[in-house]
């Protein structure tokens, strides 16, 4: 879990780095005190199931759908708990809260989680937490004042740490991810193909190939390397 003060100066910066229309905590809840974020990692078996082939596995699609429902449930529970305690809270959907044209979210759980110190961004544009990037993020805003977490200054992505890995780029099946740019439309086209493939399961516009069979799938690989006192491999 990561906590950020609603007044953190990085929140206005999200209008520049995430989306010009990105909401601020006070936009979701007048008088916001804190933003709480959390990461729900997938089972390793789910990640392993998604390694082979160009299409997302049924297990990956199912985990995406079920975890989104779990995020909704967690946020709804916390909202009710906070309100019963005399505070206010606001929640946003775990996904599908974006402009279909720009493909940008009005409230990016990834960027909010970065502000809250939950992790650092990798080359694959995913947030790498202590438990890696294979999973889903949720967040909610509350009027309760909470002590913010300290953001890590060390990179969690090996490419950004010492240039020693760009496996997520080679894992991309849609020619969307490069070391110097990201084609979000090409990425989303792959996600839509998977949604059609797994239509019987629900709304699963996913891919996840750049999150599996990579060093950051289930751990922070930079922190692990430092803990083991291994030299950089640039």
Query: pLDDT for 112-137, tens place per residue?
Result: 999 999 999 999 999 999 999 999 99
**221 pLDDT more than 70:** yes
Q: What mean pLDDT is predicted for residues 185-211? A: 96
11 belongs to a structural domain: yes
- Residue at 209 is within a domain: yes
Give domain status of residue 51, yes or no.
Answer: yes
In terms of phi and psi (left: phi > 0; alpha: psi -120 to 50; beta: otherwise), the region of 221 is alpha
Range of weakest confidence among 58-62, 103-107, 117-121: 103-107
Long-range contacts of 93-97 (CB under 8 A, 24+ apart): 94/67, 94/68, 94/136, 94/137, 94/138, 95/68, 96/203
- Does residue 232 lie within any of the structural domains? no
Q: Is the pLDDT reported for residue 233 higher than 80?
A: no
Helix (H, G, I), strand (E, B) or coil at 140: strand
Please give the residue range of the domain that contains residue 183.
Answer: 2-227
Domain total for the chain? 1
In 91-183, alpha helices (H): 109-115, 158-162, 167-171
Q: Find out whether 21 and 106 touch, Cβ atoms under 8 Å.
A: yes
Separation between Cα atoms, residue 64 and residue 180, nearest integer Å: 28
HSE value, Cβ hemisphere, 13 Å, CA-based, for 45: 4
Residue 234 lies in a domain: no
Question: What is the distance between the alpha carbons of residues 197 and 177, in angstroms, rounded to a whole number?
Answer: 22
Q: Quick check: is 189 in a domain?
A: yes
Per-residue pLDDT reduced to its tens digit, 35-45: 999 999 999 99
Q: Is residue 62 part of a domain?
A: yes
Answer whether residue 233 is part of any domain.
no
């Amino acid at each position: 879990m990561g906590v950020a003060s609603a007044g953190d100066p990085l929140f206005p910066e999200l209008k520049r780095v995430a989306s010009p229309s990105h909401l601020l905590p006070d936009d979701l809840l007048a008088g916001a005190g804190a933003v709480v974020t959390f990461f729900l990692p997938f089972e390793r078996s789910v990640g392993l199931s998604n390694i082979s082939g160009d299409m997302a596995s049924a297990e990956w699609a199912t985990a995406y759908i079920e975890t989104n429902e779990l995020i909704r449930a967690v946020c709804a529970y916390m909202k009710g708990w906070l309100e019963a305690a005399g505070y206010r809270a606001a929640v946003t959907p775990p996904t599908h809260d974006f402009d279909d044209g720009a493909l940008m979210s009005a409230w990016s759980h990834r960027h909010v989680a970065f502000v809250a110190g939950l992790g650092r961004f990798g080359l694959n544009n995913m947030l790498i937490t202590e438990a890696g990037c294979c999973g889903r993020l949720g967040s909610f805003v509350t009027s309760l004042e909470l002590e913010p977490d300290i953001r890590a200054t060390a990179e969690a992505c090996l490419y950004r740490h010492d240039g020693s890995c760009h496996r997520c780029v080679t894992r991309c099946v849609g020619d969307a991810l490069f070391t110097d740019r990201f084609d979000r439309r090409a990425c989303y086209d792959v996600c839509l193909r998977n949604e059609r493939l797994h239509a019987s399961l629900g709304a699963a516009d996913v891919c996840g190939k750049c999150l599996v069979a990579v060093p950051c799938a289930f751990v922070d690989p930079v922190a692990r390397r430092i803990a083991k006192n291994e030299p950089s491999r640039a």
